[in-house]
Structure 1
């Protein structure tokens, strides 16, 4: 039997067991705050963690510890079987002052994972960024910085010994041309700092799998080849390294054609591979065509991992656009994750599910099945009146609707008619009234509201209807 078949056969047994375990985890999750039933997908919708387990891999998400409650926490616990702290385990977060440690954020992530039957990917022990000033601006000899680095690893990895599945021990050690990044560790210690860090991590937590993680190494190129040569050299030296992380911060239309071949060549070095920080960004506001392409590309990345026996799993770098780093770092880009800002699944979510073996029921693809017109009819001082028209552009009747959007300029709804409108922060949801729940193909419904504004009254640029992205009319 091939290794892939062995993995799948073993996973079938694990999935059968997980149905019992998962039931207990779901019962535990139900003790916390839950969204209204209408806010969640029907029970028949795919569950990514279960589909992934059936393929012998995990499907995870990066999380923000302070948000692990309410709808965000519920979806995290239900849909994913691995979580990565986005920032809470980085050096600057846990040891901002030398010898003084803050563990509250990291503890919250690990505790949440254990309560929901999830593994944890530790991120990250040694990285050139988000370092405290005392490390990045210190005056170091090779020996003194090596001691500081290995002490930090011993303390952090040791604290969570036996509770972390994978550690990103060293993060982003290469430049784009494949040369070593001149971090404080590289310049003070030299090439050996990576091996030193891996050995320290193994001593601190012998059970955790140890990874080197980098970006723009998803396809075969100079940078990924440098990483390949590093792993090969470390293996030849007997340095403990268990895996390679391919971050996969991708741009729509730029998924490498050599992704699967690249995963395979690392696997052939006798190490595991993981897609560790997947998102696929696009210019915003997104069009229906962009969302459809994003679905296909999430599906392709997931399928590439499933196809290689030693690809351990995939982590999306935040599952919802409301918790994505992309808009803050790439002007004009966003919509990079599988869920929109209102926690509604986007087509990308279904693309992932399909790559994991979920079979669609054959209904038409929802992308572009609705069109929304938004118009401010009057505006005064700090108030305004707006009208919204929702048109069913599909060939299937809609029975019950919820239109969601986010305010771009801090507006709020104060009164509404022909719909029930609720707001949480910038996120707004308008639900049908009893008399306008049905929208026939080609037909439209209209509702209106009064709102308040301060400083600006910019119109929303994107709407979703029952989780489907709509075009603007």
Structure 2
């Protein structure tokens, strides 16, 4: 509480904290969301050893969300989304090219699936996005427009989409990525044809279509204080002065390991001081792959720091990760050599980053956080000939906890290539190799081991790797 009175956002946060705390005290029948549905374990969740992010976030008065792919909202993927997150954002299903591929012809199936899923699991929905320069249908991006004709098309689209989900969307990213890196306006088809006013007009159209939804402008590389974020700040200030309906600012936060802005919290605060809410909307923290134990530890600290920066500002509404699992991340397809950007690995196992988020939200490590050095690897070349070799690898579980599903990763120093493997599935990208269990050998009890082998090719040298990670944790190697 600041001063002698509380702002509306502070009141909402305080109420949320009280409700979440009361829920935990009476046994967890409701913890800031609906009773258990598909993918939720009901009362037993409170006794689980693993932290539940949505419950921890609710107790702090914020939401914790994830972007999702509608077609994957079943099985383990759907179960984790429903269990861990209290807000979801459709990754692609609400973008203009997806919902209105031809003028006046709509495809709502993907967007409907996301909204229906959220409502079944007591989750908020962040609508993403109504007006954006990218992923437009050709008829919009390549049309010959006057200011008047494109304004009509734009506002008609907003009315159709925001109107369809009226009362079911918590936040709309109304305008997405309007600025260049230097703070000038991006020359999108909307900026070029309509001019600066297209942002205000989009916001007014969204308010008319869905008066209850909170309206945001969303952008990337605006997390710290810089030219681009200052341009966004000046835009919001101007919109507020004109009486244009704008409720919040979205900081995407597609970050690189080791480059989280030191001014993140101060930047959130200065937007809040304008009288708008702030949200971290698309958080991921990418690194070079395969990740080392040190990288994963640093990523944990940085996820914790970003979450903590939101918690430190009363008007920060919440955090959304841009996909919770590495198997559903956009990073490897766009940034060659980078990945491992999300809180879960490709097999839906929590990474250290997940525990960093939980710790920022008030969870105390009860011993479930994977320890460093909990595995030992023996790598042996059994035979070698002119251009090929056969090797055997044994990984031993030296921890006191069973391993259920494993991936062993290493990098070759001399350009070797895998040609055939047994008792594991091996994949290779450049020098980086990942060996995944074969299913029947996925479980490794404490003190037990799993062995696999492969044939490979070499040229000029066959030096053995010296560093291995098991599920992202560094192993010892004799």
TM-score category, normalised to shorter length: 0.7 to 0.9
Note if 1:119 corresponds to 2:124. yes
Alignment CA distance shift 1:170-1:320 (3 Å): same
Alignment CA distance shift 1:378-1:105 (3 Å): farther
Match of 1:224 in 2: 229
Alignment CA distance shift 1:411-1:74 (3 Å): farther
1:415 shift after superposition: 5.8
Note if 1:29 corresponds to 2:39. yes
Match of 2:449 in 1: 445
Of residues 190, 209, 213 in structure 2, which corresponds to 1:204? Answer: 209
Say if 2:392 and 2:454, in contact at 8 Å, map to a contact too. no
Match of 1:136 in 2: 141
1:313-352 to 2 correspondence within 5 Å? 313-352=318-357
Q: Hey, what's the Cα distance between the residues in 2 that align with 1:133 and 1:367?
A: 51
Note if 1:400 corresponds to 2:410. no
1:139-288 to 2 correspondence within 5 Å? 139-288=144-293
Relative to the length of structure 1, the TM-score reads: 0.84
Note if 1:100 corresponds to 2:109. no
Alignment CA distance shift 1:412-1:136 (3 Å): farther
Match of 1:419 in 2: none
Match of 1:289 in 2: 294
Q: Hey, what's the Cα distance between the residues in 2 that align with 1:83 and 1:460?
A: 41
Note if 1:67 corresponds to 2:72. yes
Say if 1:403 and 1:464, in contact at 8 Å, map to a contact too. no
1:431 shift after superposition: 6.6
**In structure 2, the residue corresponding to 1:224 is in which secondary structure?**
helix
Relative to the length of structure 2, the TM-score reads: 0.83
Superposed CA deviations along residues 158-190 of structure 1, whole A, max 9, x for unmatched, are 000000000000000000000000000000000
Number of aligned positions between the proteins: 438
Q: Hey, what's the Cα distance between the residues in 1 that align with 2:400 and 2:303?
A: 27
1:44 shift after superposition: 1.4
Alignment CA distance shift 1:71-1:412 (3 Å): farther
Q: Specify every segment of 5 or more residues in structure 1 that has no aligned partner in the other structure, as ranges.
A: 32-36, 417-425, 452-458
Note if 1:312 corresponds to 2:307. no
Q: Hey, what's the Cα distance between the residues in 1 that align with 2:61 and 2:420?
A: 46
Alignment CA distance shift 1:375-1:285 (3 Å): farther
Alignment CA distance shift 1:460-1:413 (3 Å): farther
**In structure 2, the residue corresponding to 1:438 is in which secondary structure?**
coil
Alignment CA distance shift 1:70-1:41 (3 Å): farther
Q: Hey, what's the Cα distance between the residues in 2 that align with 1:364 and 1:99?
A: 51
Say if 1:165 and 1:209, in contact at 8 Å, map to a contact too. yes
1:382-397 to 2 correspondence within 5 Å? 387-392=392-397, 397=399
1:374 shift after superposition: 5.8
1:9 shift after superposition: 2.9
Alignment CA distance shift 1:143-1:71 (3 Å): same
**In structure 2, the residue corresponding to 1:301 is in which secondary structure?**
helix
Note if 1:20 corresponds to 2:47. no
Q: Hey, what's the Cα distance between the residues in 1 that align with 2:243 and 2:105?
A: 33
Alignment CA distance shift 1:367-1:358 (3 Å): same
Say if 1:209 and 1:242, in contact at 8 Å, map to a contact too. yes
**In structure 2, the residue corresponding to 1:169 is in which secondary structure?**
strand
Alignment CA distance shift 1:335-1:374 (3 Å): farther
1:373 shift after superposition: 4.8
Q: Hey, what's the Cα distance between the residues in 1 that align with 2:372 and 2:314?
A: 33
Say if 1:218 and 1:262, in contact at 8 Å, map to a contact too. yes
Match of 1:469 in 2: 473
Say if 1:346 and 1:469, in contact at 8 Å, map to a contact too. no
Superposed CA deviations along residues 194-251 of structure 1, whole A, max 9, x for unmatched, are 0000000000000000000000000000000000000000000000000000000000
Q: Hey, what's the Cα distance between the residues in 2 that align with 1:340 and 1:70?
A: 16
Match of 1:34 in 2: none
1:428 shift after superposition: 4.0
Say if 1:404 and 1:463, in contact at 8 Å, map to a contact too. no
1:388 shift after superposition: 3.5
Superposed CA deviations along residues 332-391 of structure 1, whole A, max 9, x for unmatched, are 100000001111100000000000000113678624433445668689xxxx98743224
1:11 shift after superposition: 1.5
**In structure 2, the residue corresponding to 1:87 is in which secondary structure?**
coil
Match of 1:423 in 2: none
Q: Hey, what's the Cα distance between the residues in 1 that align with 2:465 and 2:163?
A: 48
Q: Hey, what's the Cα distance between the residues in 1 that align with 2:374 and 2:287?
A: 20
Alignment CA distance shift 1:208-1:5 (3 Å): closer
